[in-house]
Amino acid sequence: MQEDNHHQRQALLSEDDTFDYGATDNASSETMDAMSVQVHSNQENDQDEDDQKHPYAFLEEHISLALITFCSNLSSWIFTSYLLSSSAVQPLYAKLSDVFGRKSTLVCVISFFFVGSWLCALARSMLQLALARAIAGLGGGGLMCMASVVIHDLVPIRKRGQYQSYVNMGMTVGTAIGAPLGGLLATWFGWRSCFYINLPPCALVLYVYTQRLPNYNKLVKQNLPRRKIDVLGACLLCIANTSFVTGTSLGGNTREWSDPLIIGMLTSAAIFFSSFVIYELNWAADPILSPRMIKNRNVLGACASNFWLWGSMMALSYLIPQFFMGVRGYNASSTGLWVFPRTVVNAFGCWFVGRHIRVTGRYKHYMLSVTFITMLAVLGIATLWVPYSDRTPFALLCMMVEGFGVGTVIVGSMVALVADVAHEDVGSATSMIFLFRSTGFVCGSTISGAIVQVSLKSLLMERIQGPEAKQGNV
């Protein structure tokens, strides 16, 4: 089997865009079963890390489901390459836009995504596809981040929540319809259409950016000393993010957590993150992570809340569908019906908090109340796991409350963050909160997946008897 799989990984992608299931004709049922779980997990990874998508969410999200039709053993790298590149550059774009100008950075972001999608559609091997996805990730990591920066530049503070809610609503709707759309496109027109469909809207947006968008903070070269580009800090942060994402993506999936490579990656991430913070606080001439941000209580509070929020949100997004399908025995369509209301209410929460801030101009007490109620809702969702009880309707209500709370905190925390910093620190503050978001996203999906895998393996070894079970082949 290992020799066959090694041979399969070297095979070129078929010229025919349509497949039954798997990239090869002789993929075993074991491979497909394992792949379905892996793809589901990585599908969630693409959508949150791509929580950096602005209205382009559906352009990326529909690819996740379509990849099932032509990926087997190498499928994890198709997702991981995108996640690696987007996570590495995501915290840098806002600060780079302070140096090179907003318009230049926006054009760069959409160009990377356009070229990456085009190369994905033309890929003839799994390696080419993985590299093309990495190029697309360089753009995907900045889509929503730059949208947030531009909003906070141009929109008055009382209206920022409303416009920020539109961005997050677009991402939520794109996430909801992306996967089904990708499946339909792959079935009707072949998997390459899932990448070709990105090109027309990207080309339109690129035209608007280059021809219609005024450059309101144009780069003045004589005011740009070389030291303003914190190259060393950017390198330290990229290495730290890459090591962390690689370790958490492979750990518990393709390699054991005790594997020396995983331990080395996580240790490297801790060392480089620590080095980055120390360097930024003490020696950086124009730091990516401004010391003023670290000393600001509101900024730290917003970043911490986003870390835990994204972690819990991704954990629930990963576990709830697994519970309905694996424990309750629902099919994919029925599971989607149970999960869909949470997505709809999440978008409503984004819109509602934007309207609330615009009308009242206040957010503190509202945000605290919603956060507390969201915590209670998560505890209510946990009742799904009570043995021999049917509390699905109650849990559905709790999922809707949790979705509403998540949408509220995502928008409200961003408004609270930039409301307490000077205009010249908006880029640094935005970079900081997106760094915490992406880290929480990876931690939530990875830790929840690891807990499920370890618990499931332990239960299987305990309850399934026989020669194969003793050999660890259950």
Q: What percent of the chain has pLDDT over 70?
A: 77
pLDDT of residue 472: 53
Backbone angles phi, psi at 259, to 5 degrees: -65, 135
Question: So what's the pLDDT on residue 316?
Answer: 86
How distant, in Å, are the alpha carbons of 305, 405, 418 from that of 409? Answer: 8, 6, 14
CB atoms within 10 A of CB 292: 15
CA dist 204 and 284 (Å) reads 39
Q: Give 74's DSSP letter.
A: T
Residue 45: the pLDDT is 45
Question: How many C-beta atoms surround the C-beta of residue 220 within 10 A?
Answer: 8
User: Dihedral, CA atoms, 208, 132, 332, 341, nearest 10 degrees?
Assistant: -30
Architecture of 74-215 per CATH? Up-down Bundle (1.20)
Please calculate the CA angle 182-450-316 and round it to the nearest 5 degrees: 55
Report the b/e string of 44-78 with b at 16+ CB within 10 A: bbbbbbbbbbbbbbbbbbbbbbbbbbbbbbbbbbb
Q: What pLDDT does residue 435 have?
A: 81
Q: What share of the chain is helix, strand, coil (3-state, %, to 5)?
A: 80, 0, 20
pLDDT at res. 386: 65
Which CATH fold would you assign to the domain 289-446? Growth Hormone; Chain: A; (1.20.1250)
Question: Which regions of the chain are under pLDDT 50?
Answer: 1-12, 14-56, 59-62, 64-73, 220-227
Question: In the chain, where are the structural domains located?
Answer: 74-215, 230-285, 289-446
Round to whole Å and give the CA distance between 7 and 74: 12
The region that residue 225 occupies, defined by phi over 0 for left and psi between -120 and 50 for alpha, beta otherwise, is beta
Rounded-to-integer distance, Cα 346 and Cα 173, Å: 10
Residue 147 has a pLDDT of 83
Q: What is the pLDDT of residue 390?
A: 67
Helix ranges (H only) for 11-125 are 29-49, 57-66, 75-100, 102-122
Helix (H, G, I), strand (E, B) or coil at 14: coil
Asked if the domains at 74-215 and 289-446 fall in one CATH topology, the answer is yes
N-term to C-term CA, the chain: 17
What's the pLDDT at 95? 79
Contact 429, 418 (CB under 8 A): yes
